[in-house]
Amino acid sequence: MNVIVRLRKKIDESYGISIGNYSLAQLAAEIAKDGFGNSYCIVCDSNVKKLFGTRLLHELRKKKLEAGIVSFEAGERNKSLRNVEAVLGEMLSMGFDRKSCVIALGGGISGDLAGFAASVYLRGINFVQVPTTLLAMVDSSIGGKTGVNLALGKNTVGSFAQPKKVYASTQFIKSLPKNEFSNGMAEVVKQAVLNDAKFFSFLENNAGKILAREPKVMAEVIRKNCELKARVVEKDEKEANYRRVLNLGHTIGHAIETLGEYKAHSHGEAVSIGIVVENRIAAMLGLLKGEEECRVSMLLHEFGLPTELPDYAPEKILALTKKDKKAVSGKVKYSLPVAIGKMYSRKGEYGVFVDDKTVLEALRCGDDCCSCCCV
């Protein structure tokens, strides 16, 4: 005997990203108008709670919304299952139900943890993202990846869960420390390199205004970046092939982050160095022109990002790339550009296996063998 449980799903998980120079009162008004829940639970880290969380709660209550706030200690090591459990427990004790909506307020850490908590709370409730770091606005709040770290590996537990909406306000950018701002810009430069030569020129031509964090220019940077990431994610939500291009700079970058024990280099700094090394690999393979390699390094440098490899043994970096969770049987596919705005693909397959000798050569190569000496 045989019983079939028919579960062919057809769902539309599309959502909007609203970008503007919104105050907390305006954000609360938008959230009230959109009505994704009958009550709202802000989930954020301890810094964000002090900076914006308590005030946003107040604004929501002023709009007569039922709302509460749950926070956890800031920092990557607190993006943990233990904190997910604590957040879920507090939500239960505060009486949030299936019709409640989580407001993931904060940087990528709050977004990842809060999004994951929402995706498993009572088997999944609505959530919206209110990113407050540039990195979260341009990267982590788009694409539906949520999750936390285990002691043995970053982002090893999680789910694909799409928010109902993302509210990105350039007002949050004002208070960001310089290194957090640069962190976000590393992903923005990456996005331009892999997708859009015109956007890359826009970044070059507006570097001064970007560094001054002018709201109008930042809104355009965020809008363009979200659009580009959205197009990549739409094509390949679960990273079967094309979404791999987003890994540019991350194969080497992750190895550098690991060698620095996640303390010596921020993610953006490691990715910046990763982009420089991977572009050099692309140049060595004859895929990318020297001048283009040089333009990318110069722009990263202009945004205050490092472009030189720290003093780690190339063999150690190489060995770590093979342990990356995206490696298959110790072989690593690199996402490499063939020009600013275009990634390498062959017969529709993105990514290319690179032999160890070339990787080591690129890692050993100091400024003198880079085709540009301007950085």
Residues between 96 and 125 with contacts to ligand NAD, criterion CB under 6 A? 106-110, 112
CB of 180 to ligand NAD, least distance (A): 5
C-beta separation of 149 from 76 below 8 A: yes
For 302, the token pair is: 């202009």
Position 220 contacts ligand NAD (CB under 6 A)? no
> Among residues 53, 68, 143, 253, which is the contact residue for ligand NAD, using CB under 6 A?
143
Question: Which residue from 145, 254, 280, 295 is in contact with ligand NAD, where contact means CB under 6 A?
Answer: 145
CB burial string 311-340: b at 16+ within 10 A, e below = ebebeebbebbeebeeeeeeebbbbbbbeb
The closest alpha carbon to 148, from 158, 133, 139, belongs to 158
Residue 310 CA, chain-centre distance (Å), reads: 23
**185 vs 288, which CB is nearer to ligand NAD?**
185
Site for ligand NAD in 46-65 (CB under 6 A): 47-48, 51
Interface size with ligand NAD, residues (CB under 6 A): 27
Strands (E), 90-243: 100-106, 126-131, 145-150, 153-160, 165-169
Residue span 165-204 as binding mask against ligand NAD, x where in contact by CB under 6 A, dash where not: -------x--xx---x--x---------------------
301 classed as catalytic:
no
Q: What is the closest distance, in whole angstroms, from the C-beta atom of residue 287 to ligand NAD in the complex?
A: 26
Side chain identity at residue 53, one-letter code: G
How far does the chain reach from its first CA to its final CA, in angstroms? 71
62 vs 77, beta carbon nearer ligand NAD: 77
Of 207, 156, 151, 144, which is closest to residue 11 (Cα–Cα)?
144
Min separation Cβ 135 and ligand NAD, Å: 4
Helix, strand and coil percent figures for the chain, each rounded to 5: 50, 20, 30
357 catalytically annotated: no
| 77 catalytic per annotation | no
Binding site for ligand NAD (CB under 6 A): 45, 47-48, 51, 74, 76, 79, 106-110, 112, 132-133, 135-136, 139-140, 143, 145, 155, 172, 175-176, 180, 183
